[in-house]
Amino acid sequence: MNAIAPTPAIAEADRLRLAPGVMLRNDRRRGQWMLMAPERLLVLDEMALAVVRACVGTGGDADADVAAGIDRLTTEYDAPRAEVAADVLEMLTDLRNKGYVVS
């Protein structure tokens, strides 16, 4: 039986962008932000949206690394950097594993 190698976690030095075919969209009618991909949709809560905006290149900000996004979120929410980093890296790894972001 072939074992599937675990995917490495996202690191602070990584530069992320939305995966091909994935779009960040606002459904104004429902008041929800979402990541839309072919045949799938992920509704983002307020914190997930903040992480995507801070850490994932969606256009002109594609040169920002994850560490810069973590620093921005730490300042914006006045939270301990270690806690913010742990939560953000876990969420971004999950989004990458689900095919919404790529490095």
pLDDT of residue 8: 85
pLDDT of residue 3: 56
CB 63 within 8 A of CB 25: no
Domain count, the chain: 1
Answer whether residue 64 is part of any domain: yes
Q: What is the CATH number of the domain that holds 58?
A: 1.10.10.1150
Rounded distance between C-alpha atoms, residue 21 and residue 95, angstroms:
14
Domain that holds residue 86: 16-98
Answer whether residue 6 is part of any domain: no
Rounded distance between C-alpha atoms, residue 27 and residue 87, angstroms:
26
Answer whether residue 103 is part of any domain: no
pLDDT of residue 45: 96
pLDDT band, very low/low/confident/very high, at 7 (cuts 50, 70, 90): confident
Answer whether residue 63 is part of any domain: yes
User: How confident is the model over 69-82, as pLDDT tens digits?
Assistant: 999 999 999 999 99
User: How confident is the model over 22-67, as pLDDT tens digits?
Assistant: 999 999 999 999 999 999 999 999 999 999 999 998 655 555 789 9
92 has a pLDDT exceeding 90 = yes
